Structures are given as C-alpha cells and as structure tokens.
Structure 1
Amino acid sequence: MAKPKILLVDDTRLILELEKSFLKASHVDVLTAGDGVEALELVRKDAPDLIFMDVNMPLMDGITCCRLLKSDPFLSAIPVVMLTTAGNDEDRERAQQAGCNDFLTKPIDRRLFLDMARRYTDAVDRREVRIPCHIPVLFLLHGSPVGANALDIGDGGLFLASREEVLVNQELRLALFLETEQRPLLELKGRVAWVNQEGKRVHAGLPTGFGVELLEPAQWQKDELKNFVEAVRTPQP
C-alpha cells in the first residue's frame, strides 16, 4: 500500500526543514515546493493527500495557489492548511475565502503541526523516535519532589512509570541524569500528554504512568537527548 503524501510549501528553506523534521517518525512521503507555481506543478503531476502552505511567497502566493486548487474539480478535495502570521486576521479571512480547510500560525509549534496533520491522515505519528531506558527521574508535584522511572525517552518527551495522580495538560518540572560519560543533569519543563491508568490503559504494553511532552527545552538539552538516543540505537562495535 502506497504511503500517504504530504506537500510542504514555503519559500523559506529553514521552515521546510523544520516541518520535515516534525514528520520524520511518520509513515508518509514528504514533498516540498518553494512557491505556489512549483506547488501547482507537483500537485498536478502527483496529487498529495495533504498540503501545508505558507501565505506569503514569491511568484505565486499561497492564497492564489489555494484558490486555483479549490477551483479544480480534480484537486479540490485535497485538504489545504494555510500558515499565517500571528495576529494577521486579514490573511486568515483571505485564505478562508480561497477555500482552505484549516490554519496554523507561525512560528510553528511541533505538537500543533502534528495534531493538525493527524486530522487528515492517521499515518502521521505524533511521537518522536523513542528508545527504551530505565532512568531515575524527579518531578515536582504540588511543590514536592516525587521519584519515578523513565521507561522510554526521546528528544521530545518520555514515559514515566508512576502511580501518582496527574492530569492531562498538567505542567511539571523534571530533573534527570543521562547515562553518558559526562552525565549532564537535565532540568526540564514538561506537559502531561496522556495517562496510563489502572483499568484504562492507553498503551497496554506500558505500566501505570504517564507520557510527558517536553516544553521549550534549550537547544543543548535537545542535543544531549538526541545524542543519547542515537548512541543507544547505534551502539559502537
């Protein structure tokens, strides 16, 4: 079965690379275009299942491209998500009139981007690459430190085995040592993304506990986590 195709359209290479990185764990083919003209050519040759498109681009802007797509009976069913600047209600109104299906605001939030993509194709995985582990973690709950164990970890989050009661979207402060030569202490902020409760398991293969999405980690912290994950996945011979 062919993988779903997602087309990313933006004239800024950095934005395209960022969006591609969000989709790296998903079972999808990613196409890119730098303006509306290139996007139209790609869509007409090989129609994608979903399009994320910037509003402001050279040669042909996203509004015009969206209007042309939605006026074509062979292409109009393709969902188009427009990327607009925060607070620019005029762009949103114009995009809506052009027939777009949804909006995202720049700067792009990874979780919101993947949640949006997930609305249109279940091939999108909102989790980053994780590896199994057994790392002691302290987190603050109602002002008091609580011990738990991380059973999997990635550069965007972790799963904590714990019987403490937490709520989805509850924010936590966490501290842990990575098992590396330098053993850097990471003090992180996170959000409870989902909860594995007794009798109501989201993931049957995991014990009671909860998944944590990391919020705004410093770049060096993301690098440490990524390096740790890669080192465990590809051990030295």
Structure 2
Amino acid sequence: MCKVPMDVCILVLFPFGFFHENFIISICCIDIPFWPDICYILGFGRNCSGRERDVMEKKRVLVVDDNEFFIQQEISCLGRDGFDFFTARCGRDALEMARGLMPDLILLDHIMPDLTGPEVCRSLKSDPLTRSIPIIIVSSGSLESSRIVANTALCDGLIQKPIRRDLLTAIVEELLGSGQRHTERAELSLPCTVSMGNVNVNANVLSLSSDGAFVDLDTLPVPGEMFEIRFNLPGQERAVYVRWAAVVWTGRFGENGPEGAGMRFLIIDSVEKAHIDDYVRMVLKKDPVKGLPRLKNSFPL
C-alpha cells in the first residue's frame, strides 16, 4: 500500500473553515514539522519564517519498489535533508501517486509484480501531465541489459543494484539542478578513448577536473551508465586511466557546442587525480578565461 504523509491526514481531519491566516502563522512558529506544509497548501507560505520555507521547499521523491529493503536503501542514500519521500510497492500504485502527487523525481524499480518499471515509465512519459518528471530506473540486471531497458523506457537515468550512494546522489543533483562543483575545472580539448566492455570509442575531453569530465559523443548514453576513459595529459608519458566514470548528465557543451556526456570519476588513482589538478591549475594560470565556474551552470560536469 502507498504511504500517505501526515500533513495530508491532518487536512482531511480538520475543515478548511477552521483555519485563519493569523492562526496558521502563529502555529508555524511552533516546532511541529507538518504545520509548515499545511501553511503552504493553504497559500500562506509567503508569511512563514525561513525555517518553514526550507521545509516547504523540499523536493518530493516517489520511491517505487516491491521490496522494502531497497526502498529504505534508496531513501538512506539520498538522506532526508532536502527531500520528502513517498513510497509505492507496485506499478499501478506508482502511476496513481505520480499523477496525484506530481513529484519532483521518481526512483522506479525495473521488475515489479504487476507492471514493470519501463511500462510505468513509458506511461508517464506519454502523458503531457507527467512527462517532465525525471525518472531513474533502478535495475538489478547487467549493465548491457539495463542500458537496453533504459533506452526503451525513455527514462532520464539508470542506476544498478547494489546502489552506489555517490552515483545516485550525483545523478539526482544533476536532474534536480542542485549540483555544485567543488574542484577547479578548465575548458580544453584532449583526445581520449571511452570504453564499455570491448567497445572503444574515440572522443575528446572538452572540460576536465579531478572529479570528472565532459566528453563529446555522437551517441548519447543514459545517465548512470559506466565507462572507462583513457587520455594523455600534455607532458605526461603515462595515460590517465579512469576505471569507472559514471554519466550524470547529457546534452550540449555550452549553448552551441557538440553533444556529449558529463561524467563523474568514481574510481581513479589518487596520483592521477593530483596530475589532473596540477594540469588544470596550469591551464587556468596561462589562460584564466578557460576556467569554468564551480557552481552548476550551462556547462555539464
């Protein structure tokens, strides 16, 4: 069964005529967590204090899985700060809740008893009301099979079980527009090789930091896909090898640049990270214009 948040229950129990704006504002000052949501629903959110506005601005996340263990794991990975979580245990409940709740994000299990995750996803993406909701499919299959599922499901992201906290967080931040950069990065052009299994693709790194890179690609992957990347830094004989680079964003580099993928480096040698940092600082020292802001903007990772 779907869980209904406490604030909705309170609204059902009390008639709307009982509330008055001054009463609502005074109640919002009391440390009761669901009163700010009532204030927001009744249209008095502008009069609440900063603490209450922070509560009301939480992103709504619908977590769908027939296994309670994975529901709790996904909630734990994202943490409760900044999110209000709602849960469904089957595909039909997910469709009903998505259309009624209009969440900011849906984490959707691949295999469920009634409707599969891809079936739910295609239904929501074909509905003008819900097509803009970002959907991440959570799969227990192999990477290759999961990639096929993601492409046919029209989802916005893909993540595999067991779930990596850093990967899930990175994808969610990009989809919700809340990502921040913590390391310096530079605009450049370095030839690279992107690999998935036995498939190798020649591409170019267009922006680089020790945390990630933007790589131009003719065929756009799905956020959550994992690749290996190799590239040479000028002056370094040994190629930089990134064992796991996860796609967290796809699109154009800037407004008119080539299409490609922003990738987060998940597994990379600490010495090679230091080499990248040194190289980026050298590029920025020679030409500060090539520096990219640390805060999220029109440039992907």
Give me the TM-score of the superposition, normalised by structure 2: 0.41
2:147 pairs with 1:92 = yes
Letter in 2 for 1:44: R
Equivalent AA in structure 2 for residue 61 of structure 1: T
SS of structure 2 residue aligned to 1:107: coil
Q: Deviations over 1:37-95 (max 9, x none)?
A: 11111111111111111110011110110010000011001111111224253443233
1:33 aligns with 2:91: no
Provide the residue aligned with 1:20 in structure 2: 75
Q: How does 1:118-133 map to 2 (within 5 A)?
A: 118-122=173-177
Alignment-mate amino acid for residue 56 of structure 1: I
Q: Do the aligned residues in 2 keep the contact of 1:4 with 1:123 (CA within 8 Å)?
A: no
**Contact map agreement 2:121 2:154 (CA 8 A) in 1:** yes
Whether the aligned pair in 1 keeps the contact of 2:88 and 2:94 (CA below 8 Å) is yes
Tell me how far apart the structure 2 counterparts of residues 86 and 95 of structure 1 sit (CA, whole Å): 11
Identity between Structure 1 and Structure 2 (%): 31
**CA separation in 2, counterparts of 1:54 and 1:30?**
15
Inter-partner Cα distance in structure 1 for 2:167 and 2:74: 11
Q: Which has the larger radius of gyration?
A: 2
Supply the distance in 2 between the matched residues of 1:4 and 1:37 (Cα, whole angstroms): 22
Structure (1/2) with the larger helix percentage = 2
SS of the residue corresponding to residue 108 of structure 2 reads strand
SS, match of residue 86 in structure 2: strand
- CA drift of 1:171 comes to 6.1
Tell me how many residue pairs correspond in the alignment.
145
Once the two structures are TM-superposed, the CA of residue 97 in structure 1 deviates from its matched residue by 1.8
1:139-175 deviation per Cα after TM superposition (whole angstroms, max 9, x unaligned) = xxxxxxxxxxxxxxxxxxxxxxxxxxxxx96668xxx
Aligned to 2:134: 79
Q: Is the 8 A contact 2:99 2:129 kept in 1?
A: no
CA separation in 1, counterparts of 2:169 and 2:149? 24
CA–CA distance in 2 between the matches of 1:28 and 1:67?
25
Equivalent runs, 1:151-230 vs 2, <5 Å: none
Name the CA distance, whole Å, in 1 between partners of 2:145 and 2:79.
33
Normalising by structure 1, report the TM-score: 0.51
Q: Structure 1: any 5+ residue segments left out of the alignment? A: 126-167, 173-190, 198-202, 204-237
- C-alpha change, 1:98 and 1:34, in structure 2 (3 Å) is same
Over the residues paired in the alignment, what is the CA RMSD in angstroms? 3.6
Q: Which residue of 2 aligns with 1:47?
A: 102
Report the secondary structure of 1:111's partner residue.
helix
Shift of 1:12: 0.9
The 3-state SS of whatever aligns with 2:163 is coil
1:124 shift after superposition: 7.8
How far did 1:104 drift?
0.7
Where is the strand percentage greater, Structure 1 or Structure 2?
1
Q: What is the alpha-carbon distance in structure 2 between the residues aligned to residue 21 and residue 91 of structure 1?
A: 23
- The more displaced of 62-71 and 15-24 is 15-24
CA distance in 1, matches of 2:169, 2:114: 28
**Counterpart selection for 2:160 from 105, 108, 117:** 105
Structure 2 CA distance for aligned equivalents of residues 73 and 21 of structure 1: 31
Per-residue Cα deviation, 1:110-162 (whole angstroms, up to 9, x for no partner): 1111111111125589xxxxxxxxxxxxxxxxxxxxxxxxxxxxxxxxxxxxx
Match of 2:15 in 1: none
User: Contact 2:78 / 2:165 at 8 angstroms: preserved in 1?
Assistant: no
SS at match of 1:72: coil
Residue 5 of structure 1 corresponds to 60
Alpha-carbon distance in 2 for matches of 1:56, 1:86: 10
